[in-house]
Structure 1
Amino acid sequence: MGSIQHSAALLLFVLAGLCVGQRIVLVQEGRLYRAKGYHITIWCNVSGYQGPSEQNFHWSIYLPSAPEQEVKIISTIDPSFLYATYTQRVRSGKIYVERVQGDSALLHIKELQDQDAGEYECHTPNTDERFFGSYSAKMNLSVIPDTLSATMTPQALTLVEGDPLELTCEVSKSTAQHTHLSVAWYHLQGSGDAQATVILSLSKDFVLTPGPSYMQRFLSDVRLDKVGDTTYKLSIGKVQPSDQGQVYCEAAEWIQDPGGSWKDITRKQTEKTLLTVRSQDRDFQANIAAVESSLAEGKPLQVNCSVTAQNSQNRWFQVVWLFKGVEVARIDPHGVLALKKEYEERAALGQLQVVKKSNEMYILKVYQVRLKDNGTYSCEVSEMEKASAGFSIIQSKMLSGIDVNVKPIESHMQVSVLSKRQIVEGDTLILHCEVSGATSPLSVNWWHLQKSGDQLEHIVGMERDGMLRPGPSYQERSANRDLRLEKINSTTFTLAIYNTSATSDGGSYKCEVTEWSMDRSWKQTQETSVAISPLKSKLRVNTEDRSLEISGSTDTEIECSVTSLTQRDSQLAITWYFLPPSPADAAPLQIVRTNYSNILDYGAEFSSAMQKSKFHSERVSSNLFWLRILSVNHGDRGRYYCLVEEWLWSADRGWYNLGKKESGKTMLEFKVSENKLHVEKTNHSITATENEDVTLSCLLQGPSQPASLFSAIWFHGLEHSGMKTLVKVHTSGMVEYAEEAMVERLHLRRPSFGDFNLTLRSVEPGDTGVYCCQVQEWQQDSGGAWVLRASELSGYTRLTALPPESTISSRVCSSPSLLHFILIYPLILFLGLTAALLYLSVKNRQAHKESIYQRKGKELWVDLKGTGDVEPTYSDHNNLEEEMNNLKEE
């Protein structure tokens, strides 16, 4: 009765808290009784808070020996919250807090100990603007001894199928509290890794329940009886081959918690009895069946080959699958699968599966049938026995085949496009592509044609697996989240283009849908036209180029000035970029972006702790922004500029982009101080094999002031690109790394004064490039502050990393130009010489024939004309021409 009154009062307290917005902390109702050595969980919830959805929890205990003293156990937010007595158990995971959700958590205590008894308090730190309500709750826990006992004499029994079986289990307890017992018998087939199944169980409420596999045999063949106060007897009237395995008993002790629920506080298992059941019948039956024998192309096909036999679990079977009378798969007695080549390839691609589901069921499954899968399927089942050389066949059964008819499919897909025909510039353009009649996976591509005669541009595509692929002209807009393609449901694909432009986004939009079925596809397109009314894209930024020359280790600011805005209440997002001094076409690197909500996002090249502490984006006034660079060094040389984005809030559209402008570029040069340091300027070249260690030298030469301190910065870059900072050693000797990943590979040491050597461990291909260091000299001024006196760059060291065990042959094979020179160029030269010789030979033969031709012609003319003055007649000319033609043919 007291428990009911407590629960009712607690419910009224919660409801009252919810009505007035009061914070309430609830903990599991006690007192709880749990057994020593077992796992306990205690829940704690908080409600009515106004802060973040994720709350934190502190757990403490008040021991009976000191009920007023708080002993801290564990916290979800403060690792140092716990007292020393709980340190080892918390760190080893024997005490931990599981967060169920943001405002609900469970305290877990493994292997409960006597000293864990006491009053537990769950405290939730305040996250609200004011204190109102409860912030902690308490409950009591008592730790009681484990008195449960469950025993059974282990046996190894061999029975013949149909014999009776009786096993007894002794269960007792001597707990002072009121508890109930439950007892269950389990059957375990095969090794200890197998899953045990319930034979019969007697619940704490004295309800007798059979396991699923023993439901048919309950009462008639399998029963559980309680004999006396502590004995539980399992009886099986006729054992079956499926009963073979291990049998054991498990007992559990249950206690009723204050809330009314029952909880098991102890659990014990007996030792196992090994049961062997011999079968007398050696015959077996086999059957083949298809789930569906007439099906459309692309549908799943499943053919089952089943075996029915007594004591089948202890017998060995081999199954061979045949398609059109040819073996395609074989499952041996151990369940090992062997597939023919084509089926093996299809299985590797996840298109086909042949499995032994059990000793009685073998399955051939094709997930998407093709036309070539049309035909007769059959299987041959053989019972095997172990022999000295492996297995031998006892008996085999060839099953008659099943005819599978695969019907080709056709597409009935239809596509329609829906959208607004006219929008205002800056609004979101939403286009819906709706598909009907499709039964296979779909892929979608959107295309844009601005005006007639223009080239069709690919906007974005969605593959069958949901992968998005933006077109070349839309990749930047996709990266800026100004473009989105979503599959709203199985038949609707929606394209949204944000911050539309009247000059570039108007025109015709086409949706192209492809339906894919096996090795075939069908394509349908539909398009619509959209007009975009212009909005006066007025944001202006100072585009004047500037130049700064900075002395070493001083701070500087790069300026970004906004001269006009489209809207007075618009917000600005500023992105700073860096262009290395070389090459000329180097891609800009994002330094840091401050969005319209003043959230910072550093680029990948500037995300290290060193870079974040060096580069800062500041808003000096409403229209003036600075990129502040601290302690400028040689690696900061290059051009800097900003990209300004103008954003406006709309109740129906949210934040949308009005436009963006680039500023002019500021060239930052590093000016070496007039005070000279003598740093070795000699350039070096080093060739190293991968995984080899390399030491780079940076040596300060000549005398220096006794009161000076020195710092050094190492840089790395490629042959024709900018230098980036690797590591810095301060005057105090502290080493600062630009990238956390390089800490293990970079080793700075000073074997002597003025020597700032850098050792690069385990050289990789990416380490190839140019290295140099910048040495800085510091002295105290009259006020005691350390100021930079001089700064100087070292010479360059060019490092080349070669692959391991590089030989002449490997160098030749790895160099295309050298390989061409050795193999191809001689062949070209030989062919050229051969062609020249053939040409000269032909020319000589033609010249010789021409000479003979001319000489013969003259002789024929002299013969024709004779020595007289009479001119040859017309017929004489014809005779001469005929003779000359005959001579040509010769």
Structure 2
Amino acid sequence: MVIFQDDNARNWALIYAVCRDVTLPTGPLFRVAGFPLSLPCQVFAYEGSRTQDFEWFLYRDNAGGMQMGVVSTRDPGLSYAPFSSRVRNGEVRVERDSGDKVRLVIQRLRAEDQGKYECYTPSTDSKYLGNYSASVTKRSLTGQPVPEGAELTLTCLASIQSEQLTHLSITFGKRDGEDASGDGTKGEVREIISIDKLLGVIPGQLYKTRYDDGEITLEKRNGEGGQGVYVMKMMAVQPEDSGSYFCEASQWIRDPDRSWQKIAQRTLDIGNLTVQQLAKSLSVTSSPQGNVTLQIGSPLILTCEVLGLPSEVSSGLQVQWMKRGSISSDTLGNGVEVEVARMRPDGIVSWGDDLSRASGGSMEKVAERKYSLKLFSARPLDSGVYRCVVSVYASRNYLNPSMPAMLTQRSEDVTVNLKTKDVFVSAVAELPRGPLLKPGSTISLICNTTIKTTGPTQAQVQWFRWPLPKLVTKAHVDPLDPPGEKDPTLIAALMYSGIVNIYVNNSEISVDRLSADSYRLRVHMASIEDQGLYVCHSEAWGQDPHGGWYNTGSKAQSNAVTVYLYSRATDLLLIPLVVGVSSALFVGIVIIAAVTCCFMKRLARQRTQK
């Protein structure tokens, strides 16, 4: 409220006027010489145009309260000599956010710029006090290519000298695609990892997964003279890590409104990093090379060696031996590739589908980056095409099965042939003559198998059953090929070692050997479910010079024997009895119906005559 006196009327009057309210940030504000200042000013509760003018003044601490014009939106001549040239070149200017809100911008603060600033409409005060600095030193990269998978360590030293309480943040980053022409053009900037102003470690968005997996770390150590030593480690660099690295230190202060402001920043280049891809240097060889021919029972030894892996690479290696094809294949080397054995980076060995090899072979690390596969007694099924597969994992990735390998390389093929004996196998199944089979009878099936070869052999016999075809109505039908509509049921087996395995439990089953080449399957107390087409499979097993038994791969399948169960005598007597009773009842009903019908017609005619 403002009081005015009207001398002509000689009366006192009260006139209410709008009070202009100008706001500035609450001071004091601390900034660093050499860095920009942006000071907002806004006016409220004003009259007139929506576009207001602003004038800025400075009261230096050592000028005894003398006012200095800085810049004005309406008077170009307001600026005093220390500011006039800076206003002309745009280093000191007023930037308008709206009609009633502006910012005083000083692009590069000087020591003489500190003092009390006034935004006139009228003004409120804002102070700039202090002269602080931050120093940063760096450790440069050597410039030599670093192999993929090697460890990278970068160090940044930073300290603060300030009379005020400030915090320091450190960021390690890199620039991609820097202009090779040297004109200073910088590529895309990627933040790798930071320690923020609140001392929290924050990974860059593209590096979070590697940070979570422990592949990237950042820690602070105490250096000489109170300096902070910040160390960033990459456990295994990747090709995409190539680029120009830098360390950025920022100084932060907390204003009276409790907001954090960046008051200083230094960014210094560390150097360029070039990551050499392992695929260009690493190779995998296997020995012996080409074709290998062995006698059955001889040891098979294959060696895998990893070459071209730099000594700086501390990554783990996983070595696998793969094989495709076997003596049972139509063409050696065809078929699906299967794993024989593997050694993980932690030294654990596991075997593929043929677990029996775990006791008949070994996989070892015989020298640095050299591995061997040994099969103590080679079998015909061990023939095929082998190759060694090496996967390179980052130093810790192999402990996490979900992490992919950095690189996978394969050796040349090694073809292994086993000198096998000529083996001929035949099998014939028959159902001995006897009484008709009925439910509750014992089904007895004979499998005669013949093996022609040299040396000790044993037959391994298996019995299978298919369901009866729908058109089969009598026994002793012997189709040459069992029906393929459904998979057969494995009933029982007599192993080459003499052990009997029974695979069904709904009937009493027994298997025995009648003679050197005759085997019998018996189904006791047979039920309707035991009907079907029966065949036997015979496989030839040979004995190697060390006394071990192996599958020769030769086998034969017998003809199919039909097993049909007839009805029992009591069932056959029941059928005419049921038929006779049914017929008598039908005839009686017909006679009674006929008599009743005739009697009713005659009675009706008699009533009509009366």
TM-score, structure 2 normalization: 0.40
Which is greater in Rg?
Answer: 2
Which fold has the larger relative contact order, with Cα–Cα distance below 8 Å and residues 6 or more apart in sequence?
A: 2
TM-score, structure 1 normalization: 0.28
